[in-house]
Amino acid sequence: MAAVGSVPPPGRSSGARIALALALQAGFHLLGFGIVALLLVALVLSVSWVPQMTPVLIILIGAVGLATWRGLVATFRGERRQEPVGLAVGRTDQPALWQMVDEVAGAVGARAPDRLVLVPEANAAVWERTSVGGLVGGPRTMEVGLCLLNVLSPDELRAVVAHELGHLSGGDTRFGPVVYRGMIAMRAALSDVDDGGFGVVFHAYGRAYLRRVQRICREQERSADHRAAVATSPAALAGALATLQAASLAWELVLREYVGPAWRQGRDPQEMFDWYSAIWVSEARREQLLQAVTVADEVDPYDSHPPLAERLHALASSGLRPEEALARRQPPALELVAHRSDVARCVAAALTADAVGRALPPVTAADFGSAVAAPSAVERAAELLAMLRRLIPPSPSTPAGLLDALAAGSAERHPRPLPPGHAGPAPPRAAGGRPPGAGPGRGQRDRPRPGPS
């Protein structure tokens, strides 16, 4: 068990965090009922003293009352978390991966998850299907991104899994649904209230609630870092944290340059994770990723995670910088996955089915240029031409008009625009030095002679 150095100890208990979140949510509803009560008192008084204000007060009571009621209903109804897009794997399907998860769960003092789902993203997460507003636990699901398995070492993957399972041992997965329901309730209530009048009070409370609960979420992340560092090592966790941002940028690059264009052309990019691996091992691409990685050091009050610089500083025994993490060449944790090619294709197919909603013919890397890149370039050129037509009226002297002429095969019939002050080329001359069709020239008989007739 590694020394943790300056990693902070866990903060308040999960029960205290849930109680605080519920109290803040109750305060929001009490605020609405309080405003309604004040408006009712004002309505009673207006009947006798200012009767012309009665209709206005009735409208205000209806608006505030409806908003409060909608928020209260949303608190208890909530929204169920959607199932992750990916491939659920059992213990017999991926024994090495499950063994690692079980070992890490025992190290952090958490019950192992009930399900393990391999997802596309460069991320990992754990969540629990709770009930009674998050107070009663339920089945636990852990998500591990294939992109992470491509870039993290086995030790770094263990640290990431320990961080996520640390949320389970700390009871954080029960706090998350409470916060989520609170945000749903306030969003439902504020949708009926503008930011003027009494709406100022509601919006101010909503912002204060979000700042407070996100501060609690940051405390949970620090606690999960602490448990992961104790269960594995601070250096492994620091290496994983320093790599995650660049791994996410690489995945966004694959989605933008490969997956998205293939979908738009009606093709299934089954080899998307091969492209991701190629980007990661490319020196030029990795240099671009290094330049794009930013280590934030300022706390965003509305962010659920502490700044990366703070988290790396807490893992003082490692002192690892992002560029050092990316420069390390260790065997990827993907070696823990059995039948890697089949798993990658299944996860890619699940992502395509979720995004497109239907089966598509596959496209390989060898056919990508002709089947995807070339048609995409033609579409972008057509979009550019359409934009030029909207901005500049088409004529033979404009780019849009010239492109239209080229497309019609009649560009030679249109005069090319000349720069200012340029008279153009001299006309060709026929035999005798005369321009064609110029007649007899000097002294010709049809030219009027000077003098009397």
Residue of 4 and 84 predicted with greater confidence: 84
* Residue ranges with strand state E in 71-187: 87-89, 115-119, 124-128, 140-145
How much is the pLDDT for 451?
46
Higher-pLDDT residue of 89 and 329 is 89
Q: Pick from 181, 163, 148: which is nearest to 21 by CA?
A: 181
CB-based contact 243:152 (threshold 8 Å):
yes
Residue 358 confidence (pLDDT): 86
pLDDT band at 405 (very low <50, low <70, confident <90, very high): low
Predicted local distance difference test score (pLDDT) of residue 29: 79
Averaged pLDDT, 401-416: 54
- pLDDT score recorded for residue 122: 92
Cα separations in angstroms, 421 against 117, 400, 402, 418, 426: 71, 24, 22, 8, 14
**Model confidence pLDDT, tens digit, residues 137-181:** 678 899 999 999 998 999 999 999 999 998 887 777 766 677 777
Q: Residue 300 — very low, low, confident or very high, per pLDDT cuts 50/70/90?
A: confident
Q: What pLDDT score does 351 carry? A: 94
pLDDT for 72 equals 67
Interatomic CA distance for residues 133 and 92, integer angstroms: 34
Percent of the chain residues topping a pLDDT of 70: 70
pLDDT at 7: 44
Per-residue pLDDT averaged across 209-232, rounded? 87
Instruction: Kindly report, residue by residue over 351-391, the tens digit of the pLDDT.
Output: 999 999 888 899 888 888 888 888 888 888 888 877 777 77
Which pLDDT tens digit goes with each residue over 26-69? 888 788 888 888 878 887 877 778 777 888 778 877 777 777 77
Per-residue pLDDT averaged across 88-96, rounded?
95
Alpha helices in 232-314 (DSSP H): 234-254, 260-264, 272-281, 283-292, 308-314
Amino acid identity, residue 355?
A
pTM for the complete prediction?
Answer: 0.73
What is the per-residue pLDDT for 105?
Answer: 94
127 φ, ψ (degrees, to nearest 5): -150, 165
Nearest in space to 177 (alpha carbons), one of 18, 19, 12, 71 = 18
CB atoms inside a 10 Å sphere around CB 425:
7
Residue ranges per structural domain of the chain: 87-171+217-356, 368-407
Picking from 161, 315, 320, 162, the residue whose alpha carbon sits closest to that of residue 234 is 315
Average pLDDT, the chain: 77
Average pLDDT over residues 317-340: 68
| Per-residue pLDDT tens digits for 123-135 | 999 988 766 655 6
